[in-house]
Chain A
Amino acid sequence: MGVFDLKIISKHFDDPQARHLDHYETHGGYRMAKRATTMAPGDIHGEVKTSNLRGRGGAGFPTGVKWGFVPKDAETVYLVVNADESEPGTFKDRHILHWNPHLLIEGMIIASRSLRVHNAYIYIRGEMQREYRILQDALDQAYAKGYLGKRIFGSDVDLDVTICRGLGAYICGEETALLSSLEGGRGWPRLKPPFPAVKGLWGQPTIVNNVETIANLPWILEHGGQAFADVGVGRSGGLRLVSVCGHVERPGVYELPLTVTGNDLIDICGGMREGKAVKAVIPGGVSMPVLTADELDVPFEFDALQNDARIREVETAPGVKFDLGGNRTLRTMAGSGGVVVMDETTDITMAAWRILHFFADESCGQCTPCREGTGWLTQVAHRVAFGHGRAGDVELMASIADGIAGNTICALGDAAAWPTLAFITKFRQEFEDKVKNSLAHSPSAPSGTGAQAAGAS
């Protein structure tokens, strides 16, 4: 098995003892946090750069590079951990918070030392009440031990960590919206630049990192950045937590090498349920373009999913490639690691409608293309899926999506547009057939989801 045996983050998942500080320390916990307080900040940063650690929240941006954007002469720098996991299909950060909260806290101590942070915040989803309590307990334990607060581990380093809870808004997972929310306002994204690393929380340089990203830091410090890079492939270091849901035998959270392909992943999850054939797989949360069954031999790794020619490029019309900007086309992306597996019985038009319904619900309303466009898309997708489609609806959906993409402050607009275009590019016939059936006055009953009873008309 080799690399399959290695577990960087998930070793103590399912062990209810692991969330207690004493137990965490018996497994070597907090040694790296203590070591970090004696290290030069630049040395820690060097290890993170060498490690090829890439952000695990969705964009896959190199963490060491992001940290490097903080101005060297900054007096006040903030660290914010993004624990607002809410991208449908994604449930891996909740596992870290639930089973191993001290791993996150230790990672935060390391990051804070490197970034010269004295006030760090964790923004956690409001719905995660249980994880909030687990995390607060863990923080209290760390404070009691002197691992947080004044002069941590007896050093001259001060660090406070404060939990702030969201109140139910997907958009707050977007880093600038998160900062708006953390400051106590509506979760409205901000234009970039300036990037948060330069001008973030209360106008100060701020690093926003995902839970899983930060949870990798103790291992990186213990084994060295090079070891982490060696575990990965190409420009992507380490392993990756992947959360799998849908029609596989054993859905769940798996920590896997980045070489694992879509087909490997389905095997690891015990194969398809009831021996059914796979029809479609969303590789990184529902905002990412869907893959078909014949595109699953590609490794589920950041660069491969973006560039591998075996994945068909997303189109705005048959034969017309979607322009991602800068002459780039769009295949798909590794996103948040949330994998949704759909079998042959799945009605793709229904899946598309439900995903769009979500984005329309969660649009913050600032930008017209997203605010209006996600609503229009949902209406059209609904009538197509539920058997009331009109001639030209498929083209209309593609046209609305193309009008949203790239024209909004934040990525939520793209998050609705990209999957729409991908569903239509790869399953066009299914959409066309639905419309044809409705035009023939024989509304077809949606299958495989039970959603026909949703009555959301």
Chain B
Amino acid sequence: MPAKQLTPEIEAWIEQRWSRFPEGAAGKALTLGVLYQAQEAFGHVDTEVIDLVATRLGLTAAHVRGVATFYTMINPREVGRYHLQVCTNIGCMLEGAYKVFEHCKARLGVENKETTADGNVTLSEVECLAACGYGPVAQIAEKGKPEIPLYFEELDLETVDKILDGLEKGEVPTELGR
């Protein structure tokens, strides 16, 4: 397999952003943004991606690894095509989020942070998504499609089943999102 390279989109983004930061500080300041976009491009952030980002931004691999392992939105391992993230924090819990989460676990046959055998769905219990009045809330990330920005709110088991049906068929039922 040829060595990974940052995509032209990431290069353009670095170019455009560089001047917004003081001299000497830009490389480091762009660490989070480049890591996230590299994850979108490669699916997850492993040692190879860390080295790639460090070299491009003129940073040590140790720094980039330190950042990558600090933030929960960076996945060190491959996740499924869909990453279903269910909030169970207090607002959602009071609305029955654990019932929703347990239902997802049972239907997908996975535990928290596991991926279905076919690699289609990774299920994660996540912390507050700042939509507490409309719980239970879930967010779905589709690999390579960062443009699904929807929250799925006021989930009940029926809606969750519709979402899981959709993911099984390879589509995010965006009409259920807000």
Contact = CB atoms under 8 A, between A and B. Distances in A.
A169 B128 CA distance: 11
B32 A184 contact: yes
Interface in A118-174: 119, 125-130, 132-133, 160, 162, 164-170
A444 B170 CA distance: 42
Contacts of B30: 184
Contacts of A243: 132-133
Contact of B98 (A170, A362, A453): A453
A91 B132 contact: yes
Contacts of A346: 94
A247 B135 CA distance: 11
B149 interface: yes
Contact of B93 (A164, A181, A338, A451): A451
Contacts of A361: 127
Interface of A is mostly: mixed
A127 B83 CA distance: 13
A126 B134 contact: no
A342 B91 CA distance: 9
Given A88-B89, A119-B20, A169 B94 contact: no
Contact of B89 (A130, A186, A247, A354): A354
A187 interface: yes
Contact of B63 (A119, A185, A358): A185
Given A88-B127, A89-B132, A243-B133, A127 B73 contact: yes
Interface string A75-113: 000000000011111110110000000000000000000
Interface residues of B, number: 49
Interface string B113-135: 00000000000001111111111
Interface residues of A, number: 63
A355 B90 contact: yes
B70 A169 contact: yes
Interface in B73-88: 73-74, 88
Contacts of B29: 164, 182-184
Interface string B27-39: 1111111011000
B132 A167 contact: no
Nearest to A93: B130
A94 B131 contact: yes
Nearest to A345: B94
Nearest to B154: A251
Contact of B149 (A129, A202, A342): A129
Contacts of B72: 167-169
B28 A91 contact: no
Nearest to B20: A162
B71 A167 contact: yes
A125 B71 CA distance: 11
Contact of B33 (A85, A129, A165, A246): A165
B132 A338 contact: yes
Contact of A186 (B66, B73, B96, B146): B66
A202 B20 CA distance: 13
A253 interface: yes
Nearest to B91: A245
Contact of A167 (B20, B74, B94): B74
B99 interface: yes
Interface string B95-119: 0111101100000000000000000
B150 interface: yes
A167 B32 contact: yes
Contact of A128 (B28, B89, B130, B132): B130
Nearest to A346: B94
Given A166-B71, A247-B94, A451-B98, A125 B89 contact: no
B91 A187 contact: no
A87 B90 contact: no
B127 A354 contact: no
B31 A130 contact: no
A86 B66 contact: no
Nearest to B39: A167
Contacts of A451: 88, 93, 98
A165 B71 contact: no
**Nearest 8 Cβ contacts at the A-B interface:** A130-B149, A251-B133, A167-B71, A184-B28, A245-B132, A168-B73, A168-B72, A245-B91
7 contacts: A90-B132, A132-B149, A166-B71, A167-B35, A184-B30, A338-B132, A451-B93
Given A90-B130, A286-B90, 12 more contacts: A85-B130, A89-B90, A91-B133, A119-B20, A132-B149, A169-B72, A185-B63, A251-B133, A252-B133, A340-B132, A358-B127, A362-B127
